[in-house]
Amino acid sequence: MCRLLGVVSHAPAPLTETLATDLTPFAALSSIHCDGWGMSYWNQDDDLVVAKSPEAAQGSEDFWSAAKQADTDAAILHLRKASAGMDPNPANTHPFVAGGAAFAHNGFFTPLSAADRLLEECGARTPEGDTDSERYFNLVLAAMRDVGPVDALQTVARRITAASDHLVSLNALLLTQRSLFAFAFWDESVPPSPEAGTATYELMFRVTADAVTVASDGWEPEGPRWERIYNGMVLEVSREDLRVTVHRG
């Protein structure tokens, strides 16, 4: 189980300012989700930047330095808890970036051989690492050649579900040049991992005058009330005007 955090704000600012009340409690989750941290964001030149490391965010000087340097209006962050047999290394650390998009996943599905067959069928990119997550992203990228991000996420979720013999969650954050997408998709019959504390597979979002934030649960964020992103829903946040659109499955 991993943890997700994303934000779109009206004006660019370092993530240490935009997420001033969120970063510390979020990073504290890496006491459990300890196998890597990563962030991807659009910089002032509208280039997609990624910074990540296969270490725990809590206590990492590199994590806080990267968050301070991330002067941006749109970003996604990820804390990784590696699945069994998948090493903590840079290639397996989220977010994954390609084709003008960044992607972070919380969940797990098997077998990888089924995902590889799907990748071959649609002519998708070959994964650089070992994870189901990167394969998921590559399938979404391939689908986006023909349809928009919302349809791509939902279509790929159906394909993976049909091909898998075990699926826990396909929760994901997808950041494009135009929008941030938060996709909630998990098997409600699968209980959360006991070692994850209060963390579940539920996603939530918060709208303020200056920003829209999306996140996994398992922590106690400050500020206005958070709303739930329901299972099967894609929440879209526009970079242009912070407009929030709900796409139901």
Tell me what pLDDT residue 1 has: 80
Which residue type, as a one-letter code, is found at position 44?
Q
Tell me what pLDDT residue 249 has: 75
Which is nearest to 91 in space by CA: 170, 34, 35, 7? 35
* Distance separating alpha carbons of residues 101 and 90, to the nearest angstrom: 18
Tell me what pLDDT residue 218 has: 85
Q: Would you kindly state where each structural domain of the chain is located, as residue ranges? A: 3-247
Tell me what pLDDT residue 222 has: 67
CATH of 3-247, one of 3.90.76.10, 3.30.530.20, 3.10.20.30, 3.60.20.10: 3.60.20.10
Tell me what pLDDT residue 223 has: 66
Beta strands across the sheet bearing 203-207: 48-53, 37-42, 71-79, 3-14, 211-216, 203-207, 227-229
Residues of the chain with confidence (pLDDT) below 50: none
| Helix, strand, or coil (residue 224) | coil
Tell me what pLDDT residue 199 has: 81
